[in-house]
């Protein structure tokens, strides 16, 4: 595990966000997903900084060293987008380049769709863009996965998932990271089990961690969730109906800014909706998709599992912006 960087605590959108801030140049924000931290971008920070950018990587609200409001609605998409805009404002910029992974991807997609003037370009990992649907995403999951376990449905009731994960944070994270990776025999996201099951039931628990995740890496993640707990991170999932009701501006919204999409071929997120190619659907709504790659054999934690390839793709994407 590399030595933790010097952090800055930045007040943005009414909350304190602990951020890694490195370099000078055009502003690049890297937004992580669940259940992670700024640390999930550890392999990309240095190369992007060295390419001539100011890199800012927050712990998303609810995580690590950032504020963790208790209210469920404090984690709605409006708040998350507001945090991104607040960081851009803090650095005195009109625009930023946004990178996002997992929940970070919908956050940066939504920022680009709702506030295109504040976004120079957007790169999303693992979660393709789609505009607001006819029903909320949680309502869709309840239709698709009726009578079966689906983790986002399990997360809706405050309490049970927090208790399950916080009973043994190390085991929970080890199972989740391994089961979501390209190394696992069974997908984290679409397990074949009863709707009354718990998240960790029947997930494989590796005796040896995959090469991309060291024991020291896991130590760091565990320390961050010992600090923050899981309530804030899980509250993001509990806002899907609220987001649908409030963000009507995402209906039919196109991504007009230069864009990049990277995912792993073994990422179960790409198969959430049966018989729908979510990547091809994304292409209908993204006007300037400059980089799009599905990395063979990789899973969900793409910028960690295939760090060198993802970094190279992101730098190539950034290079297209400098040619303009």
Please report the sign of the dihedral spanned by the C-alpha atoms of residue 310, residue 215, residue 232, residue 241. Answer: positive
Which stretches in the chain have pLDDT values below 70?
A: 1-4, 187-191
32 is catalytic: no
Are 307 and 212 in contact by the 8 Å Cβ rule? The answer is yes
Q: Which of 67, 83, 102, 267 is catalytic?
A: 102
What is the distance between the alpha carbons of residues 198 and 221, in angstroms, rounded to a whole number? 22
Specify the pLDDT at position 45. 97
Element (H, E) at 160: helix 160-166
Specify the pLDDT at position 158. 97
DSSP structure class, residue 255: B
Find the distance separating the first CA and the last CA of the chain, reported in whole Å: 37
- Give residue 106's region: left, alpha or beta (phi > 0; psi -120 to 50): alpha
Are 267 and 302 in contact by the 8 Å Cβ rule? The answer is yes
Q: pLDDT (tens digit, 9 = 90+) per residue, 179-226?
A: 999 999 876 666 678 899 999 988 999 999 999 999 999 999 999 999
Specify the pLDDT at position 2. 54
In the chain, the domains with their CATH numbers are: 7-322 (3.40.50.1820)
Show the CA angle centred on residue 123, arms to residues 38 and 199, nearest 5°.
Answer: 55
- Please tell me whether the overall predicted TM-score, pTM, comes out greater than 0.85 for this model: yes
43 is catalytic: no
């Amino acid at each position: 595990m590399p030595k933790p960087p010097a952090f800055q605590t930045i007040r943005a959108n009414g909350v304190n966000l602990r951020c890694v801030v490195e370099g000078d140049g055009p502003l690049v924000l890297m937004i992580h997903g669940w259940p992670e931290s700024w640390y999930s971008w550890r392999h990309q920070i240095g190369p992007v900084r060295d390419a001539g950018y100011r890199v800012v990587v927050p712990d998303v609200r609810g995580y690590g060293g950032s504020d963790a409001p208790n209210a469920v609605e404090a984690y709605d998409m409006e708040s998350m987008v507001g945090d991104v805009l607040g960081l851009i404002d803090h650095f005195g910029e009109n625009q930023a380049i946004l990178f996002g992974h997992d929940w970070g991807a919908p956050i940066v997609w939504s920022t680009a769709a709702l506030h295109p003037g504040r976004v120079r370009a957007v790169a999303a990992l693992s979660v393709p863009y789609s505009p607001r649907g006819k029903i909320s995403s949680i309502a869709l999951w309840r239709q698709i996965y009726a009578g079966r376990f689906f983790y986002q449905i399990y997360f809706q009731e405050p309490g049970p998932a927090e208790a399950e994960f916080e009973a043994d944070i190390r085991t929970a994270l080890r199972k989740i990271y391994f089961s979501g990776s390209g190394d696992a025999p069974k997908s984290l996201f679409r397990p074949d089990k009863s709707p009354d099951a718990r998240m960790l039931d029947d997930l494989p628990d590796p005796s040896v961690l995959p090469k991309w995740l060291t024991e020291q890496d896991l130590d760091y993640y565990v320390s961050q969730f010992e600090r923050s707990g899981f309530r804030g991170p899980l509250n993001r999932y509990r806002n899907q109906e609220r987001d649908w009701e409030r963000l009507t501006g995402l209906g039919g919204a196109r991504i007009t800014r230069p864009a990049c999409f990277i995912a792993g071929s073994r990422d179960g997120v790409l198969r959430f909706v049966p018989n729908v190619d979510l990547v091809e659907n994304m292409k209908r709504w993204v006007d300037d998709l400059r980089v799009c790659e599905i990395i063979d054999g990789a899973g969900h934690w793409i910028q960690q599992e295939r760090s060198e390839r993802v970094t190279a793709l992101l730098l190539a994407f950034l290079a297209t912006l400098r040619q303009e």
